[in-house]
Structure 1
Amino acid sequence: MVLTSETRNRVQAYLDFLVVEKGLSPNSLTAYGTDLTRFLDFLESQQMSSLDQVDLTVILAWLVHLTRSGLAPKSRARHLITLRGLFRFLVTEKYLSINPVKEVDIPKSGRSLPEIITIPEVAALLDTIDTTHPRELRNAAMLEVMYGAGLRVSELIFIKIQDVNLDANLVRVTGKGDKERMVPIGTKAADITRQWKDRGRPRMLKTLNSPYLFVARAGKPMTRQGFWKIIKKYAVQAGIFRNVTPHTLRHSFATHLLEGGADLRSVQTMLGHTDISTTQIYTHISRDYLMRMHQRYHPRR
């Protein structure tokens, strides 16, 4: 039986998400793609045509198949992590209602630290934009708000006009699980967003109407891929030649707050993390910062 085109499109949507939201390198993306292709081939060999047919029994059969194929435990764990990410994405995007991998334990391994850029690099990135053109003004406002509030790209692009209170420097966003939260954005972000809202946005919309704050063509919200390309362009212009993605700004926001003395619970709330253990990964980076400061300034270093 052949998998439906819808099934393959959903898998491709997940791979696109990994590039745009997670900033995966080409090598990592290839590894994910290879793992998922192998899983899809297995589904076809089991006479399945859709991911809707996958349940816990199928996942366990897949693990048995990998074991019989001679894969080491570490490699099987990687395959399982890939599937967990895929099905979590499908449930979040409402393609599926149940994650069949959720109850399968994955051997714990060290979590990689998120990529960040420094405060001077953030300043260079934000200052490189010429805001005389409406489109550039919009881009500058989006970057300022993303870094100012630590938003996910999916939260940023769907902000509506009614969601911002520029007098109070607050923005309301809808995060994972349709949970709303209010996040402060800072004076600089509020000022340039006000310029965009009052001056740039009307020039881009012309006679069109749109509920979205940051509009693209025909008054529609910008795509994740579109915003990813914008960050890449400005990073190069700013002389930052590392892999800078929308998620890099979110990681940098959290790290810079912690380095500045913010408490973990506050950062958790602003990021919209349900579990504080997700936020704690940033403390590893900040500990490195504190060690450097201690070594630099302590009299008995």
Structure 2
Amino acid sequence: MHGLADAYMDYLTIEKGLSANSITAYGTDLSSYINYLADNGIENICDADTTAILGWLVHLTRQGLSAKSRARYLISIRGFYKYLIGEKRISANPLKDIDIPKIGQHLPGVLSVHEVELLLNACDATTSKGQRNLAMMEIMYGAGLRVSELVFLKVADVNLDAGLVRVMGKGAKERIVPIGSKAKAAAGLWLEQGRLMALKQLSSDFLFIARAGKPMTRQSFWKIIKKHALVAGIARPVSPHTLRHSFATHLIEGGADLRSVQTMLGHADISTTQIYTHISRDYLIKMHHEFHPRK
């Protein structure tokens, strides 16, 4: 079970871009849960049913944890089980009948339009790797992709003439997302020059390749983003998911309707997309204070 927890920590770091403090907190919560299961003779995560989880919550209560702390633990475990189902490690979620109190909504970090430009300008488009990195970031920001969706894009998924990208999202749901002229230009340069140089005599169906024509890993792209953010002089933490958040926020700030953004992001539920309206509300308040004559 600890191996599954470690894999989940990697997922939160790379896919979700959580801070080191958040990762530590999730790790502590998961360790507490797994240790409780082991102490009660449960060695396989598949054997932890709803009754076992309720017993764990009673255990936390007896330890003196507040309702807020118990809610935090439940949120940590809920994310863990959601990950396990997505990875097909388990088939049923024992948390589905356990209510989790809502204790506030985390607003994702986003870059300003200027910061995105700095990040993209940090790529050296005169080299094969630089062309690849620029194309990856342009498409991720241009289409709001998840990092897993980006690294598994195939050449056949991109129609540069039409300016469209075909994405296979969560739950094997396909969606078509438009990209702009900058993303098309970067992808075209990579396809015509950098990718051919990188492949040499090899062949690959994947759009973005690393060594031996294999697709780029999520971990490698996360390192690329961090490196370019450092070169660009961006002090705040930046991850692949930051570009996805920035894509959605900038669209809504520019006047895009929520349903369109939901479709482009591939959110099954519009309530997931609504978090970006809170970010945009802060933006509108800032703009009002900055430009209204009666501040």
Q: Say if 2:289 is the partner of 1:295.
A: yes
The residue aligned with 2:237 is 243
1:153-168 aligned at under 5 Å gives the runs: 153-168=147-162
Amino acid at match of 2:243: L
| Aligned partner of 1:66 among 60, 65, 75 | 60
| Aligned partner of 1:10 among 4, 10, 23 | 4
Deviations 1:1-45 (A, max 9, x none): xxxxxx322211110011112211111111111111111111111
1:125-144 aligned at under 5 Å gives the runs: 125-144=119-138
How far does residue 292 in structure 1 lie from its aligned partner after superposition? 2.4
Deviations 1:184-210 (A, max 9, x none): 111110111011112111211112221
Q: Say if 2:44 is the partner of 1:30.
A: no
What's the secondary structure of 2:177's corresponding residue? strand
Instruction: Report the Cα distance in structure 2 between the residues aligned to 1:237 and 1:127, rounded to whole angstroms.
Output: 10
Structure 2 unaligned spans of 5+ = none
How far does residue 299 in structure 1 lie from its aligned partner after superposition? 4.5
| Aligned partner of 1:19 among 3, 7, 13 | 13
The 8 Å contact of residues 68 and 103 in structure 2, kept in 1 or not, is answered as no
The residue aligned with 1:40 is 34
Instruction: Report the Cα distance in structure 2 between the residues aligned to 1:83 and 1:254, rounded to whole angstroms.
Output: 27
| Aligned partner of 2:219 among 207, 225, 247 | 225
| Aligned partner of 1:263 among 244, 257, 267 | 257
How far does residue 297 in structure 1 lie from its aligned partner after superposition? 3.4
The residue aligned with 1:90 is 84
Instruction: Report the Cα distance in structure 1 between the residues aligned to 2:178 and 2:124, rounded to whole angstroms.
Output: 25
How far does residue 257 in structure 1 lie from its aligned partner after superposition? 0.5
Give the TM-score taking structure 2 as reference length. Answer: 0.97
How far does residue 225 in structure 1 lie from its aligned partner after superposition? 1.1
Instruction: Report the Cα distance in structure 2 between the residues aligned to 1:121 and 1:25, rounded to whole angstroms.
Output: 19
Q: Say if 2:275 is the partner of 1:281.
A: yes
What's the secondary structure of 1:171's corresponding residue? strand
Instruction: Report the Cα distance in structure 2 between the residues aligned to 1:227 and 1:88, rounded to whole angstroms.
Output: 23
Instruction: Report the Cα distance in structure 1 between the residues aligned to 2:202 and 2:47, rounded to whole angstroms.
Output: 43
What's the secondary structure of 2:194's corresponding residue? helix
Amino acid at match of 1:265: R
Instruction: Report the Cα distance in structure 1 between the residues aligned to 2:273 and 2:248, rounded to whole angstroms.
Output: 8
Amino acid at match of 2:20: P
1:202-221 aligned at under 5 Å gives the runs: 202-221=196-215
How far does residue 282 in structure 1 lie from its aligned partner after superposition? 0.6
Give the TM-score taking structure 1 as reference length. Answer: 0.95
Deviations 1:40-87 (A, max 9, x none): 111111112111112111111111111112111111111111110001
What's the secondary structure of 1:81's corresponding residue? helix
What's the secondary structure of 2:175's corresponding residue? strand
Amino acid at match of 2:267: H
Instruction: Report the Cα distance in structure 2 between the residues aligned to 1:180 and 1:295, rounded to whole angstroms.
Output: 41
Which range moves more in the overlay, 229-238 or 281-290?
281-290
Which range moves more in the overlay, 269-278 or 100-109?
100-109
1:111-122 aligned at under 5 Å gives the runs: 111-122=105-116
How far does residue 293 in structure 1 lie from its aligned partner after superposition? 2.3
Q: How many residues are aligned here?
A: 295
Amino acid at match of 1:194: G
Q: Say if 2:182 is the partner of 1:188.
A: yes
| Aligned partner of 1:179 among 173, 188, 199 | 173
Amino acid at match of 1:43: L
What's the secondary structure of 1:182's corresponding residue? strand
What's the secondary structure of 1:294's corresponding residue? helix
The residue aligned with 1:252 is 246
The 8 Å contact of residues 118 and 232 in structure 2, kept in 1 or not, is answered as yes
Structure 1 unaligned spans of 5+ = 1-6
Amino acid at match of 1:44: A
Moved over 6 A (4+): none
Instruction: Report the Cα distance in structure 1 between the residues aligned to 2:92 and 2:202, rounded to whole angstroms.
Output: 39
What's the secondary structure of 1:181's corresponding residue? strand
Instruction: Report the Cα distance in structure 2 between the residues aligned to 1:44 and 1:296, rounded to whole angstroms.
Output: 57
Instruction: Report the Cα distance in structure 2 between the residues aligned to 1:10 and 1:161, rounded to whole angstroms.
Output: 32
